[in-house]
A and B are shown apart, each in its own frame.
Chain A
Amino acid sequence: MTSTNPTLDLAGGASAPPAGPRPARRSSARAAETRRKWYEIIGLTTPAVIVYVMFVLVPMGFAFYYSLFRWRGVGPPTDFVGFDNYVLAFQDPIFLDALRNNAIIVFGSLLIQGPIALGVALLLNRNFRGRTVFRLLAFVPYVLAEVTVGIMWKLLLSDAGTVNAMLESLGLGSLVQAWLADLDLVIWTLLAVLTWKYVGFAIILLLAGLSNVPQELNEAAAIDGASWWQTQRHVTLPLLGPTIRIWMFLSMIGSLQVFDVIWVTSVPAVRSLGASATMATYMVDNGFFARLWGYGNAVAVILFAISFVAAVLFQRFLLRRDIEGAITRRAN
């Protein structure tokens, strides 16, 4: 479970004494020091641990327990069915559609938002008039509430909406689409909305990362005769690696669990046909609206398991260098 909460472990790892053979002779002062440290660790982490256990681990345990029942949320669960709900989920073509849509969003977000954010961040990192305004504009969609964004795009993308009207008036009438009604198109429309919404987050993260790149390195590169492009490619980008990887991690987890924007922008009928369902909307549609509480919990556990495995793999292989010594073993 530790790997789900890197910050906790990073903090612990930083203050804990390095592992390794201890000196055989221990003075009482040293023992007191060690004890004091342990008090500190326990005192500081206990509230967080209690909250974490009560509101994360215990509900997760309950979700798993309920997922083993055929239960419609009326009266206590009694009809134990083992893993039947899990089997049912993987037999439902709509759930498989939801999985496919999540995959599209995960990879689509990384491949589209990454380059855009990098370009914009590099641009906004240069000095020019009105830089603050542009930085603000790039970040505005991200701070808007998801529901607001959803309703806004739902209206803009409707048949007689602004997007189609603009295309018409630009003489691009042939591009007019049923953005949210075309069952083959809708997931790509939603990917575009999600990109618009979340690219600001990537930009801000990368800008923060860029501000950590020492100016001296750029100057040194300039003295060596490197062009601006060469500096970005060979100095800035490598130093931005940790930030990019953290953003990828957050984007991936967010994409797996995406709910609000999809829920609001895409209507129930299109979701129920699988065209725009994600695992999270599928969970709510089946858990609450079809009142299959046991089944809904099973879907929740599947969603958790997929996110968990993805997170662990990502940390193990891509974030390895960034979190060395905290989660992975310290390199000798």
Chain B
Amino acid sequence: MAIKRRATTFLALSMTTALLVAGCGGGGDSEEPAESELFKNPVTLTWWHNASQDGPGKTYWEKVAKDFSAKHPTVTIEIEGIETNQLQRTRLPAALLSNDPPDIFQAWGGGEIREQVEADYLKDITDQVKDEVANIGSAAEIWAVNGKQYGLPYRMGIEGIWYNKELFEKAGIASPPTTFEELNDAVTKLKAINVIPIAVGAGDKWPAAHWWYNFALRACSVDTLRKASLENVFDDQCFVKAGQDLKAFIDTEPFQPNFIATPGQNDPTSANGLLANGKAAMELMGDWNKGTLDTVTEDQEALNKFIGWFPVPAISGSAGDPKAALGGGDGFACAKNAPAECVEFLKYIVSPEVQKGYAETGTGLPVAKGAEDGVKDPALKSILEATTSATYVQLWLDTAFGSTVGNAMNDAIVAIFAGNGTPEQVVEAMKAAARK
């Protein structure tokens, strides 16, 4: 009977699928080679990173993989560059769930890596990378959970204000502001010469949210921030204070009109575009900004001449540490069942020579000591200096608190920017999201 035969085929098909799935799940557990077997057997490492667009970053990773394979011929590296959002939000979580993840992949640290460790996705590399961690310093802590190391950063930097020196001069601002009073003063002077004082890409949410993060960093003590990151507890009044300070700052109208729909970067109409083309005088942004400004400028030479950087100004009389800064970075982690060669490759990526080459690409600041010489750009050099001299580097709050709280927090901050949210609602949204 045809029906029967069909049914059998279907059954067989589903069983094969089930077996395949089971096969994927079961693989890998037993193949943890001993230290002595390293580089003896041929292995293939799959590597997912976020340098998906053609450019110096992507080319550099290709070179790094090739160099490593040349050194260790048993290792083949298969690279896949995936756009950050896609990688972080869909591809990676799905791959990790499927039990067939890439061996080495982008890791953002903070709340996310904590969740991944709890789900037992990552390889504990504490013992193998002691030297590297020592060389990187405190930045490596962001990729550690409960004192154990699960990943290593290759890029790290603090954020600050990128500004147009020529417009500052024209407006009669003698030196970059060091306090918020001076910043407000600069805003007034810039308005007088008819330029946008500060560009903010509120349309993408996070560039707006980072203003709140900085007010929180100034309002909250380091202990409060640590506790918030580890336990998602936001009871301290300082989080409300951050919103109040932000609201007061927005009320001085320092930003471009209709900022709620302005994208952050990579687009001529973005906040980046406004700064890069001399229409706005300042923008709060991370160390990667030089590269993104380059892509949207109409006049590269002019940009190189006028662009400068200064740390986020201090708020007088606030509880927070005025020398603390917000920062973040990119790192890589190895999947739990990845071959031991994965860790070796990770160590290679953060070695001073590879890091120096990375710094020379200009796509970000290196983390390893001994790579500083690779930083050529003057603005990047001042960030590197500020990063080293910061007393405390707080990871971006949305990364530190994890995606769920981070997203709800950013949404509520954006509502303040749009004029229909309150400082209290930000804290309520964070608490509600922590329970979701």
Contact = CB atoms under 8 A, between A and B. Distances in A.
Partners in one complex: yes
A76 B415 CA distance: 34
A269 B6 contact: no
Given A74-B93, A161-B269, A290-B407, A269 B118 contact: no
A55 to B, nearest CB: 12
A285 B205 CA distance: 12
B203 A268 contact: yes
A124 interface: no
Contact of B418 (A39, A269, A289): A269
B115 interface: yes
Interface in B66-124: 85, 89-90, 93, 96-97, 115-116, 118-121
A39 B2 CA distance: 7
Contacts of A269: 202-205, 208, 260-261, 414, 417-418
Contacts of A17: none
A299 B80 CA distance: 31
Contacts of A155: 269
Q: Is the interface of A mostly helix, strand, loop or mixed?
A: loop
Given A160-B269, A267-B261, A268-B205, A273 B414 contact: yes
Interface SS of chain B: helix, strand, loop or mixed? helix
Interface residues of A, number: 37
A268 B204 contact: yes
Interface residues of B, number: 44
Residue from A46, A76, A269, A292 having most chain B Cβ neighbours under 10 A: A269
Contact of B205 (A42, A180, A272, A288): A272
Contact of A291 (B89, B415, B418): B89
B93 A50 contact: no
A273 B97 CA distance: 31
B420 A74 contact: no
A70 B433 CA distance: 12
B258 A295 contact: no
Nearest to A284: B89
B403 A289 contact: yes
Interface of B: 2-3, 6, 10, 13, 85, 89-90, 93, 96-97, 115-116, 118-121, 202-205, 208, 257-263, 269, 402-404, 407-408, 410-411, 414-415, 417-418, 420, 433, 436
19 contacts: A42-B2, A42-B6, A43-B2, A50-B13, A70-B436, A72-B115, A73-B93, A74-B118, A74-B119, A75-B118, A88-B436, A159-B258, A178-B261, A180-B261, A183-B418, A269-B204, A270-B261, A288-B90, A290-B408
